[in-house]
């Protein structure tokens, strides 16, 4: 007889015993959608492939804003991106769209504070990775972190990739959230570059999440590799 018996109810309960994301998978967390690469699907696929080859550990498909793909086109692109990530053993996360994450069987989903309740997200995705954005201690206390696996904290610095981003809270925000009892693995996000990533990691982030530092780099492969080397040096 099995020593432990898992059933769906246990996996979905507040007392899940199986962690589904390990901090190493968050080291270099690349986020992108067609809006970040001139609304060009081919360009997005090539950029993500280069970033995966360069060493990103996680990729989030974030198709957001006016002029972005919807419906069947979004689904097909999500499937192609999943294949690239699978080839490189890169964790594949879908932003906001829980139905899409389930449809393409992504590794996880990331939601914001204004999106669905975390308990509902957890019930829809079962044992997939659930990420949540937290911008302040106040938001931490409003969040049912028990249903989440990892946290994006930001914006660390000023960003031009998210028009509705809040005021930068800096790496200190991670320190404060840790002091308030946040124990989940987290990534810093917002305006992170090779030059300013170190304080984010030193403040307790498992990794850095970036859009422009890789998507807009002259060579996304090289940018990803440099981030991976930097994080590997600090997070042993
Ligand atoms: N979320 P870049 S900041 C997608 O604060 C996103 O929650 C943020 O892009 C948050 O690396 C941000 O180009 C944009 O600054 C990150």
Structure ipTM: 0.99
Give the range with max mean pLDDT: 9-23, 114-128, 155-169: 155-169
Q: Pocket of ligand 1, candidates 143, 186, 189, 191: which has the most ligand atoms within 8 Å of its Cβ, to mutate?
A: 189
Alpha-carbon distance of 157 to 179, in angstroms, equals 21
Any atom of ligand 1 within 6 Å of the Cβ of 54: no
What count of Cα atoms within 13 Å lies in the side-chain half-sphere of residue 50? 19
| Whole-structure pTM value | 0.93
Alpha-carbon distance of 108 to 85, in angstroms, equals 13
Any atom of ligand 1 within 6 Å of the Cβ of 189: yes
DSSP 150: E
83 alpha carbon – ligand 1 mean position (Å): 25
DSSP 21: -
15 pLDDT higher than 80: no
In the prediction, which pLDDT does 17 show?
53
Strands (E), the chain: 28-32, 58-61, 91-95, 108-111, 129-134, 150-153, 186-189, 207-210
Q: Pocket of ligand 1, candidates 140, 143, 169, 190: which has the most ligand atoms within 8 Å of its Cβ, to mutate?
A: 190
Sign of CA dihedral 50, 77, 39, 63: negative
Any atom of ligand 1 within 6 Å of the Cβ of 154: yes
Q: Could you tell me if 193 and 213 are in contact, meaning their C-beta atoms sit under 8 angstroms apart?
A: yes
Sign of CA dihedral 153, 12, 8, 115: negative
In the prediction, which pLDDT does 236 show?
82
Least Cα distance to 219 among 39, 84, 88, 54 occurs for 54
62 catalytic? Reply is yes
Q: Please give the C-alpha separations between residue 126 and each of 14, 77, 123, 149, 214, in angstroms, as whole numbers.
A: 12, 23, 6, 12, 31
- Which residue minimizes the CA distance to atom 7 of ligand 1? 154
- Quick: pLDDT tens for 40-49: 999 999 999 9
185 pLDDT higher than 90: yes
Alpha-carbon distance of 197 to 232, in angstroms, equals 12
Any atom of ligand 1 within 6 Å of the Cβ of 152: yes
Question: Which of 27, 74, 128, 133 does the annotation list as catalytic?
Answer: 133
Determine the atom of ligand 1 nearest the C-alpha atom of 31: 4
54 alpha carbon – ligand 1 mean position (Å): 21
133 alpha carbon – ligand 1 mean position (Å): 10
Tokens of 74: 């979004």
- Quick: pLDDT tens for 95-150: 999 999 999 999 999 999 987 899 999 999 998 999 999 999 999 999 999 999 99
């Amino acid at each position: 007889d099995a020593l432990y018996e898992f059933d769906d109810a246990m996996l979905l309960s507040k007392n899940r015993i199986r962690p589904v994301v390990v901090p190493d998978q968050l080291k270099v967390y690349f986020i992108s959608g067609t809006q970040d690469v001139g609304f060009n699907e081919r360009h997005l696929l090539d950029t993500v492939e280069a970033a995966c080859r360069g060493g990103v550990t996680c990729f989030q498909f974030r198709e957001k804003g006016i002029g972005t793909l919807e419906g069947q086109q979004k689904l097909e692109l999500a499937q192609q991106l999943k294949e690239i990530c699978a080839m490189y053993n890169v964790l594949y996360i879908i932003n906001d769209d829980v139905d899409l994450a389930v449809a393409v069987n992504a590794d996880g989903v990331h939601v914001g504070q204004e999106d669905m309740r975390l308990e509902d997200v957890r019930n829809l995705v079962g044992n997939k990775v659930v990420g949540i954005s937290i911008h302040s201690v106040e938001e931490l206390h409003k969040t049912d972190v028990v249903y989440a696996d990892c946290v994006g904290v930001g914006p660390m610095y000023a960003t031009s990739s998210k028009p509705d981003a809040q005021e930068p809270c800096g790496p200190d925000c991670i320190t404060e959230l840790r002091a308030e009892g946040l124990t989940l693995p987290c990534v810093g996000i917002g305006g992170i570059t090779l030059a300013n990533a170190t304080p984010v990691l030193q403040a307790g982030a498992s990794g850095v999440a970036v859009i422009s530092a890789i998507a807009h780099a002259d060579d996304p492969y090289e940018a990803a590799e440099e981030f991976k080397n930097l994080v590997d040096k600090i997070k042993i």
